[in-house]
Amino acid sequence: MNSEPRKEHAWLHKFVGEWAYEGECVMGPDQPPAKATGLETVRSLGGLWVMGEGQGEMPGCGPASTVITLGYDPQKQRFVGTFIGSMMTHLWIYDGALDASGKVLTLDTEGPSFGDNGKMARYQDVVTLVSDDHRVMTSRVLEEDGTWREFMTAHYRRKG
């Protein structure tokens, strides 16, 4: 099996490099936004995948490490990937699509609900490519009333 990179793989490779991030996360309805900062190194795996390894301070968790993988599956015609973090036990599995502008990647996933009630919830991580040196990731959860509620926004800026 020898796959050739496609334009979607090239789009993902815009993330390759060293990044510094800062973000805000809403930890609860009556709490002010908490700050998160850190560094991420993104590298290519064979031209078909990108893998980002992050280190930073996470709200309510202290120091944390994260790993994100992203690729494109031509058979499904969908972006696919995973996310794990040292502060959680859930493996997040991504399935997503790029919008018509070619700047916004919406990744659908499922994970434990915020209510800590044993239920699962639908989430989206939305990655917006602002420029070659700036991207924004917004995380949101689908509420029971059918509306999406944003709870985290992070700005990634290329270092150097």
Has residue 56 been placed in a domain?
yes
Has residue 139 been placed in a domain?
yes
Look up the CATH number of the domain holding residue 109: 2.40.128.20
Has residue 38 been placed in a domain?
yes
Separation CA 113–CA 105 (nearest Å): 23
Has residue 134 been placed in a domain?
yes
Has residue 2 been placed in a domain?
no
Separation CA 13–CA 79 (nearest Å): 13
Q: What is the pLDDT of residues 87-128, one digit of tens each?
A: 899 999 999 999 999 999 999 999 999 776 789 999 999 999
Q: What is the pLDDT of residues 4-39, one digit of tens each?
A: 999 999 999 999 999 999 999 987 777 888 899 999
Has residue 61 been placed in a domain?
yes
Has residue 100 been placed in a domain?
yes
Domain containing residue 127: 7-158
Domain count, the chain: 1
Asked if 60 and 27 count as a contact pair (C-beta separation under 8 A), the reply is yes
Within 10 A of 142 (CB to CB), how many other CB atoms are there?
A: 16
